[in-house]
Amino acid sequence: MLDISHLDHLVLTVADIQRSLDFYTALGFQEITFGNQRKALLFGRQKINLHQKSEEISPHARLPVCGSADLCFIIETPLEEAVRYLNRQNIPLESDIVTRTGATGNIRSIYLRDPDGNLIELSNIE
């Protein structure tokens, strides 16, 4: 058995890197450039690398497609405040605040979609 410590990064295949950068930085992610002018989104001690559709960096997922991810991010901002912020940014929500089960227990969540249709869950730990 392997002793897994934590997630370092994940990769999203996107139709338009700049559009994705604009969306995620509006949510609070930090845009970074690394390697050969590649783009990523930094949050905490993790990052999301962005691959341009049809220009994926090898090796990559067997079937890289836009809009197939379902990601949950724990946020410190109270969800009620997050909802008001997203409304001001004209980012539509997929749900009202709901209770779910996260990795360490109950969470309260809202759902939205990024420009590629990926489902984004923003959550507070209860």
Domain that holds residue 59: 9-125
* 100 within domain boundaries: yes
Q: What CATH number is attached to the domain comprising 74?
A: 3.10.180.10
* 1 within domain boundaries: no
The 10 Å Cβ neighbour count of residue 44 is 9
* 4 within domain boundaries: no
pLDDT at 96: 96
Q: Which of 76, 80, 121, 126 is an active site residue?
A: 121
* 39 within domain boundaries: yes
Number of domains observed in the structure of the chain: 1
* pTM, rounded to two decimals: 0.95
Q: What is the tens place of the pLDDT at every residue in 30-84?
A: 999 999 999 999 999 999 999 999 999 999 999 999 999 999 999 999 999 999 9
* 64 within domain boundaries: yes
Q: Is 56 in the active site?
A: no
